[in-house]
Amino acid sequence: MNKFDLVEQVSKKAGLSKKDTEAAVEAIFAITELTLAKKEPVKISGFGAFGVRERKGRLGVNPSTGKKIKIPAATVVVFKASKKLKEKVAVKAKGKK
């Protein structure tokens, strides 16, 4: 699913215009980005939590040359699914077998 599909489905489910839905989705994304940029978590009950972690620099190997390379430290976004979401995904996946 891409952003266009998300807007379309939310619009239908909520009974809102696509224009209003797109504005709401854009606002949610913008607020999420700003909150994570401040290194604060975004917790959505029943869905999961987005957070920010610092990844330490480390040594790695370039797979094509075999040479050792330095991988710099980085700030990364992480997502942890809620128990409820994990259970729903597991049930849906199990039903498709």
Q: For residue range 8-29, list pLDDT tens digits in order.
A: 999 999 999 999 999 999 999 9
Given this model, what pLDDT does residue 81 score? Answer: 97
Judged by DSSP in three states, 17 sits in coil
Q: Match domain 48-97 to its CATH number in 3.50.50.60, 4.10.520.10, 1.10.10.10, 1.10.3720.10.
A: 4.10.520.10
Question: 71: which 2 tokens?
Answer: 């991988």
Residues 6+ apart with CB under 8 A from 16: 10, 24
Domain boundary assignment for the chain:
1-38, 48-97
Given this model, what pLDDT does residue 87 score? Answer: 93
Closest CA to 8 of 27, 23, 22: 22
How far apart are alpha carbons 59 and 5 in whole angstroms?
A: 40
Residue 75 has pLDDT above 80, yes or no: yes
CA distances, 48 to each of 63, 75, 87 (Å): 34, 20, 12
Give the model's confidence band at 97: pLDDT under 50 very low, under 70 low, under 90 confident, else very high.
Answer: low
Q: pLDDT for 48-74, tens place per residue?
A: 999 999 999 999 999 999 999 999 999
Given this model, what pLDDT does residue 56 score? Answer: 96
Question: 79: which 2 tokens?
Answer: 């997502």
How far apart are alpha carbons 79 and 50 in whole angstroms?
A: 4
Residue 95 has pLDDT above 90, yes or no: no
